[in-house]
Amino acid sequence: MTENVDSRLRDESGKNPCQLVCVRCTSKILSPGMGTYMDLEFELYSIEKEREGEKEKVGRFYKVDDVFNFDNLGFTNTVGNHKFLSCADCDLGPIGYHDLTTRLSYLACD
C-alpha cells in the first residue's frame, strides 16, 4: 500500500481521519477517529447490483470497539458468530460485520 493511500485511510494514530458515509445515501456511518484501521481478510457479499449474491474478499477494515460509536448502523443476517452491518437509513449492506464473540465491529474500507 502506498503512503498516499495510507494517509487517506488512517491518521498518525491509525484511526479513520474523516467522516465515513454510506456510498448509496451519504448517511453518516462513523465519525472521525472512531475506527482503527486493520488489514484483515473477511468474505462479505458484494453490494454491487451486478454482483449481487456473490461473495468477495475484503482486506481492509476499521475496527470499532463499541457499536454505539456508529451513527446510523443496522444489522442484517446473523451467520454463525457474525452479524452483518448495514446502513440504517437505506439498508445497503453488508458494509461490514460484528463479531458476537469479541463484540467488536469491522467496517469495510474496500
SS3 of 40, please? Answer: strand
Contact 14, 76 (CB under 8 A): no
Q: In this structure, which amino acid lies at residue 4? A: N
Position 7 pLDDT exceeds 60: yes
pLDDT single digits (tens) 90-100:
999 999 999 99
pLDDT single digits (tens) 22-64:
999 999 999 999 999 999 999 998 887 788 788 999 999 999 9
Q: Provide, for the chain, the percentages of residues in helix, strand and coil under a 3-state DSSP scheme, each rounded to the nearest 5.
A: 10, 45, 45
pLDDT for 5: 56
Q: Outline where 1-110 has alpha helix (H).
A: 3-9
Position 1 pLDDT exceeds 50: no
Rounded to the nearest integer, the mean pLDDT of the chain is 91
Q: Where are the beta strands (DSSP E) in the chain?
A: 20-21, 28-30, 36-45, 55-64, 73-79, 82-87, 96-99, 104-108
Position 2 pLDDT exceeds 70: no
Q: Please state which of the ranges 25-29, 99-103, 106-110 shows the lowest mean pLDDT.
A: 106-110
pLDDT single digits (tens) 59-93:
999 999 999 999 999 998 899 999 999 999 999 99
SS3 of 78, please? Answer: strand
Q: Rounded to an integer, what distance in angstroms lies between the CA atom of residue 28 and that of residue 13?
A: 22
